Structure 1
Amino acid sequence: MMQQQHHHHQHQSKHPTTSRVHFTCTLLLLMFTPRVDSSWWYIGALGARVICDNIPGLVNKQRQLCQRHPDLMQSIGDGAKEWIKECQHQFRQHRWNCSTLERDHTVFGSQEAAFVYAISSAGVVYAITKACSQGELRACGCDGGKRGRAGDGQGDFDWGGCSDDIHYGIKFAKDFVDAREKMVKDARALMNLHNNRCGRMAVKRFMKLECKCHGVSGSCAVRTCWLAMSDFRRTGDYLRKKYNTAVEVTMNQDGTGFTAADRHFKGSAKNELVYVEHSPDYCLTDRTAGSLGTAGRVCDKASRGPDGCEVMCCGRGYDTTRVQRVTQCGCKFKWCCAVECQECQETVDVHTCKPHTRHTGEAWMDTT
């Protein structure tokens, strides 16, 4: 007897034009990827047509996994799009907004790097697990361990549908993403491995039980249930909170673990994001620190928070431009069942941060 699927299987061959569009879009996304040393982020640009030997910077284990599972490389590309979008959402109102100048190499081990490694690792888990459930990958499918009867707070149920195989997603993400860091034994590699794990566990943390009722008039005389991942936003929100409480650490002398830099820190950093270097202020362009600066960023004149002009512009002041904006107005509910609106034009002031002013005779220049 076939089990009921709660996901739609997608087996569509992509038209060459569609592939080219995907290639271009992913490249554009990767142009705005945070500048952290993880060259596997380039993979998404090549999609299913990936030639593993031509991807720059892959370590041997990553290249072998790429050759063994070329279809999973497409999922990694999808994961890259997902986490970049989420990262930029979480930091949209901050000086550092998850967009930097370059992606290839970096020297920062800051709180922002901690978040980037965690959210990117989570994005790979999420995308691979989702592709497994949708029948897009040869190596995996639904979670075969979810069979027979089980129970929760509402009573017994039958496993059915298609439970997301989070264990496969986590295992592949661990094997592939961690491979580069495992070749190095310095503090930043240890930091990255720790934060990668936090990202993987964050996706698992929000697995939820979804059920369908069977019985007379929709009663729950019998329930069929499956485990599914929650929306990626929940993972993003969780890791954003972990970013706020990230722990500064120093590597132990034996190189196998961390000690909190604050000797008054109580508890374990096992499930916390960790960082080893202080963050720059992100006010000015600094390529070595992964900072674009805030010149030209839109700010909120009325806000006293991080999106306010005083904080966002680092005290440099702001320019104001008056622009015309079209909005929906005069909306009315029409029976039945639509909402009709008019288009209204309004004039609004847009505030943008001034660039850094170089004083005459000053030798300062943006770090290149």
Structure 2
Amino acid sequence: VCCVEKHGCDSIAQFAGVQSRRQPSGSAPRIYLPFILLLLMFTPSVDSSWWYIGALGARVICDNIPGLVNKQRQLCQRHPDLMQSIGEGAKEWIRECQHQFRHHRWNCSTLERDHTVFGRVMLRSSREAAFVYAISSAGVVYAITRACSQGELKICRCDTNRRGRTSDEEGDFDWGGCSDNINYGIKFAKAFVDARERMVKDARALMNLHNNRCGRMAVKRFMKTECKCHGVSGSCALRTCWLAMSDFRRTGDYLRKKYNTAVEVTMNQDGSGFMVADRDYKRTTKNDLVYTENSPDYCLMDRLAGSLGTAGRVCNKSSRGMDGCEVMCCGRGYDTTRVNRVSKCECKFKWCCAVECRDCEETVDVHTCKPHKKPDWLDLT
């Protein structure tokens, strides 16, 4: 239920951007009050998050965005066009999160019409929370930087500061063109994303700030040099080059590896920083994701832990990895369903500029995880 003070109640659309219908403002009729109260009673008491901007799409109104702290609301009011970019970026990094974990028990599931976006699973200071905070921070950097370079924002443009002549493995070139303004993207993302965490000083806030920074730096790590050749017949006797962001998938892949090697930490006694839980760990954690609590196994539905379980999830019978039926189904076994699929086949190139294919039907086996079986003695009670 989304009841926003002074603005009535909105039915918020899904992350795909489907428009919602605005309800008339004013108090709800008496007949609906018991229903609303029941919903509020059974709604998990999880803080809202700025992540929900992705669900609001083009209807971003700063006062109506749940989960913003005062600093974030002020930035939103000053730069509403940036909020549009952040909203589009939120959809992108959530899709990337779901791509990276598509074969895992926890698959970055989102909850419709839920201001927390991911539900109670983010209450635990786990590896999954570390990844979400990092990829969301990276997503803001990416979205703002891209919008700057494309001229969509009033406050920033692409970076024209790089000038002069330099060289790389292919020879000399001149800095020119319009580089992606990654420094502005990082600056705004730090101010906006970190605002909530800077209001408190506890282990979770320190963890989130650390992982937010790792996400921002991950985007900068994959900046690449792009060049345009000048010369006779397009030869590269002369080159003009600029810096550009790589595809966001590279950032997602990098942070996914950091998730695998995330480091468990504990808070210092003075509350100023972290200590690595493993005393034998000698490396710096500057570029590592950190967490303070172990993850649940996500095998069974657990509303308190935010686990949706794996019952009904599709698994790969022949795989020994995380997507394999043995791992995905947590040893409960799987059901097999035979389905017919239609795909394009026997494709031929037809002059000019067309490809013609046939629709071919094949029968395949789909394996899905069995639900958890209650102990027999529960049926007797």
The two structures share one fold, judged by TM-score above 0.5: yes
Q: Is this contact kept in 2: 1:129–1:166, CA < 8 A?
A: yes
How far off is 1:181 after superposition?
0.7
Partner of 1:3: none
How far off is 1:52 after superposition?
1.1
- 1:177-199 alpha-carbon deviations (Å, 9 max, x no partner): 00001111111111110000000
Partner of 1:45: 55
Partner of 2:286: 270
Q: Is this contact kept in 1: 2:17–2:57, CA < 8 A?
A: no
Q: Specify the code of the residue in structure 2 equivalent to 1:64.
A: Q
Instruction: Please say which of residues 124-133 and 335-344 is displaced more in the overlay.
Output: 335-344
Match of 1:87 among 88, 93, 97: 97
Q: Is this contact kept in 1: 2:135–2:215, CA < 8 A?
A: yes
Q: Specify the code of the residue in structure 2 equivalent to 1:299.
A: C
> What is the count of residue pairs matched by the alignment?
337
TM-score, normalised to structure 1, is: 0.86
Instruction: Write the distance in 1 (CA, Å) between the matches of 2:58 and 2:163.
Output: 32
TM-score, normalised to structure 2, is: 0.83
What is the identity percentage for the equivalent residue pairs of Structure 1 and Structure 2? 80
Q: Is the counterpart of residue 70 in structure 1 residue 86 in structure 2? A: no
Q: Is the counterpart of residue 221 in structure 1 residue 237 in structure 2? A: yes
Distance of aligned partners of 1:237 and 1:37 in 2 relative to their CA distance in 1, 3 Å threshold:
farther
Match of 2:345 among 318, 326, 329: 329
Match of 2:143 among 127, 130, 133: 127
- 1:44-84 alpha-carbon deviations (Å, 9 max, x no partner): 33344422122222111001000000000111111111111
Q: Specify the code of the residue in structure 1 equivalent to 2:279.
A: R
RMSD of Structure 2 on Structure 1 (CA): 2.2
Instruction: Write the distance in 2 (CA, Å) between the matches of 1:24 and 1:306.
Output: 28
Name structure 1 gaps, 5 residues minimum.
1-21, 30-34, 364-368
Distance of aligned partners of 1:358 and 1:46 in 2 relative to their CA distance in 1, 3 Å threshold:
same
Q: Is this contact kept in 1: 2:175–2:242, CA < 8 A?
A: yes
Match of 1:259 among 253, 275, 297: 275
Q: Is this contact kept in 2: 1:36–1:113, CA < 8 A?
A: no
Match of 2:157 among 125, 130, 141: 141
Q: Is this contact kept in 2: 1:95–1:282, CA < 8 A?
A: yes
Q: Is this contact kept in 1: 2:263–2:285, CA < 8 A?
A: yes
Q: Is the counterpart of residue 199 in structure 1 residue 215 in structure 2? A: yes
Instruction: Write the distance in 2 (CA, Å) between the matches of 1:325 and 1:338.
Output: 24
Higher RCO (CA 8 Å, separation ≥ 6 residues): 1
Instruction: Write the distance in 2 (CA, Å) between the matches of 1:265 and 1:38.
Output: 35
Distance of aligned partners of 1:27 and 1:331 in 2 relative to their CA distance in 1, 3 Å threshold:
closer
Partner of 1:19: none
Instruction: Please say which of residues 159-168 and 39-48 is displaced more in the overlay.
Output: 39-48
How far off is 1:140 after superposition?
0.5
Instruction: Write the distance in 2 (CA, Å) between the matches of 1:354 and 1:328.
Output: 32
Instruction: Write the distance in 2 (CA, Å) between the matches of 1:103 and 1:352.
Output: 30
Q: Is the counterpart of residue 56 in structure 1 residue 66 in structure 2? A: yes
Partner of 1:243: 259
How far off is 1:286 after superposition?
1.9
- 1:189-219 alpha-carbon deviations (Å, 9 max, x no partner): 1111000000000000000010001011212
Q: Specify the code of the residue in structure 2 equivalent to 1:133.
A: S
Match of 1:279 among 292, 295, 299: 295
